């Protein structure tokens, strides 16, 4: 059975790495050690043992120096370099798949460097196409007590869900500081969220920091997100105390079943569609190549038949399938046309030298005669004017 893969994603400071440490410890306590992967190249120290660590393959500081990059650019570039070896990573995980039930993956704290980068998509797709994969979106619970902050976090989670197209679990972390009951209620009860939003609006009005436009926007977005909430499993955990991790593992099992039932079938359909399109494209290119080379295809009834759109669009019956055949094949022997007047007198051939010389001589004599006549006329006028 393929191991369950959990990709941990969350805002900076949400507690992803601590969550990973506690999840790793919790699974070890259940005698079900996970296969751990660290994809954060900028972290100095990880509090868990990683089976695969990006820092072993890519030196983050060297990337900054060699490519003259800042912190975020270096993280993206490090992920790009690592993603070129993702096939080897998948092979390593597959070799150990009979020994592990879970694969857990930690991602960079700069969430946009992973989610919105090409390398992040490649890594996610590589795992999702090989193993049942679930996204764990880690939320800092104490920082989301404001309805506005909460809805902003949920919108980001929504964008990740539709970007990755994978089952998602919303994990409200740090419940030892603030219980996640309020957030669960807001996600299940629209009126409760509206009431919290009104209270927040009144409080902001007293401190002169409120915005009527913002509250109206948040109100509208909360209605839109109701459909999004229905696609999620929500759990509250404390990475400090270990509370809620059994519930989280149950949610992972639930989402893996959902993956096998819906997401896997959809992904297989998309891949099959891509394969069919690629097959048709190759067949079309081959057909064009054969036509260009003049190679007959025994399977075709008409060797002149083509698949080029520009040729087939204007084909009508009796038009030779849009092809122009040589005159000889059509039985037409057309005489060459000349644009010279006077029975082709303008044509120069080897047999016309004498005639051409005669025409030149005639033109010369005519010109000379006209010039002499005009000169004589001018002289006569000059003499007449002088005598007068």
Query: pLDDT by residue (tens digit) across 199-222?
Result: 887 776 655 445 567 777 787 788
- Residue 80 is part of a domain; what is its CATH number? 3.40.50.300
State the Cα–Cα distance between residues 103 and 128, nearest whole angstrom.
Answer: 12
Domain that holds residue 168: 4-189+232-263
Confidence of residue 266 (pLDDT cuts 50, 70, 90): confident
Which carries the bigger pLDDT value, residue 7 or residue 227? 7
For 81-92, the pLDDT digits (tens) are 999 999 999 999
Residue 46 lies in a domain: yes
Of 333, 312, 334, the residue nearest 323 (C-alpha): 312
Residue 243 lies in a domain: yes
**Residue 239, pLDDT above cutoff 60:** yes
pLDDT given for residue 218 in this prediction:
81
Mean pLDDT, the chain, as a whole number? Answer: 80
* Contacts of 28-35 spanning 24+ positions with Cβ under 8 A: 32/101, 32/102, 33/100, 34/100, 34/101, 34/102, 34/103, 34/104, 35/3, 35/93, 35/96, 35/100, 35/102, 35/103, 35/104
For 163-179, the pLDDT digits (tens) are 998 999 999 999 999 99
Which carries the bigger pLDDT value, residue 257 or residue 224? 257
pLDDT given for residue 384 in this prediction:
64
Residue 78 lies in a domain: yes
Residue 136 lies in a domain: yes
pLDDT given for residue 212 in this prediction:
62
Confidence of residue 2 (pLDDT cuts 50, 70, 90): confident
Residue 259 lies in a domain: yes
pLDDT given for residue 313 in this prediction:
45
Confidence of residue 347 (pLDDT cuts 50, 70, 90): very low
pLDDT given for residue 197 in this prediction:
86
Buried b (16+ CB within 10 A) or exposed e, 167-188: bbbbbbbbbbebebebbbebbe
Residue 86 lies in a domain: yes
Most confident of 24-38, 294-308, 354-368, 372-386: 24-38
Confidence of residue 139 (pLDDT cuts 50, 70, 90): very high
DSSP string, 243-292: TTHHHHHHHHHHHHHHIIIIIHHHHHHHHHHHHHHHHHHHHHHHHHHHHH
Residue 118 lies in a domain: yes
Of 262, 233, 264, the residue nearest 249 (C-alpha): 233
Q: How far is CA 333 from the centre of its chain?
A: 57
State the Cα–Cα distance between residues 376 and 173, nearest whole angstrom.
Answer: 118
Total domain count, the chain: 1
Average pLDDT value for residue range 107-130: 91
Average pLDDT value for residue range 113-132: 92
CA separation (Å) from 129 to 165, 269, 296?
12, 12, 41
Residue 65 lies in a domain: yes
């Amino acid at each position: 059975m393929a191991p369950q893969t959990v990709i941990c994603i969350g805002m900076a400071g949400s507690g992803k790495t601590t969550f990973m440490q506690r999840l790793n410890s919790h699974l070890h306590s259940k005698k079900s050690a996970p296969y751990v992967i660290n994809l954060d190249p900028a972290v100095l120290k990880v509090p868990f043992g990683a089976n695969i660590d990006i820092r072993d393959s890519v030196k983050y500081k060297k990337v900054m120096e060699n490519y003259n990059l800042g912190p975020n650019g270096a993280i993206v570039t490090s992920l790009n370099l690592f993603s070129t070896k993702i096939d080897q990573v998948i092979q390593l995980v597959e070799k150990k798949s009979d020994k592990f039930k879970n694969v857990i993956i930690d991602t960079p704290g700069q969430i946009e460097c992973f989610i919105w980068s090409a390398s992040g998509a490649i890594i996610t797709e590589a795992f999702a196409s090989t193993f049942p994969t679930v996204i764990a979106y880690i939320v800092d619970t104490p920082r989301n007590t404001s309805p506005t902050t909460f809805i902003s976090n949920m919108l980001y989670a929504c964008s990740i869900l539709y970007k990755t197209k994978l089952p998602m679990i919303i994990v409200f972390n740090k419940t030892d500081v603030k219980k996640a009951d309020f957030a669960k209620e807001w996600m299940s009860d629209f009126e409760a969220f509206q009431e919290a939003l009104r209270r927040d609006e009144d409080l902001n009005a007293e401190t002169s920091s409120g915005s009527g436009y913002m509250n109206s926007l948040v109100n509208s977005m909360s209605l839109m997100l109701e459909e999004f909430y229905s696609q999620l499993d929500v759990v509250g955990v404390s990475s400090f105390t270990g509370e809620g991790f059994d519930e989280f593992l149950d949610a992972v099992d639930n989402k893996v079943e959902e993956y096998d039932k819906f997401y896997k079938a959809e992904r297989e359909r998309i891949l099959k569609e891509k394969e069919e399109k690629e097959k048709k494209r190759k067949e079309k290119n081959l057909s064009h190549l054969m036509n260009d080379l003049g190679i007959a295809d025994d399977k075709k009834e008409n060797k002149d038949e083509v698949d080029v759109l520009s040729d087939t669009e204007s084909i009508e019956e009796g038009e030779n399938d849009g092809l122009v055949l040589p005159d000889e094949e059509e039985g037409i022997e057309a005489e060459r046309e000349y644009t010279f007047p006077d029975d082709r007198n303008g044509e120069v051939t080897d047999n016309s030298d004498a005639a051409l010389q005669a025409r030149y001589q005639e033109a010369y004599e005519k010109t000379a005669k006209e010039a002499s006549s005009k000169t004589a006329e001018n002289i006569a006028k000059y003499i007449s004017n002088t005598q007068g």
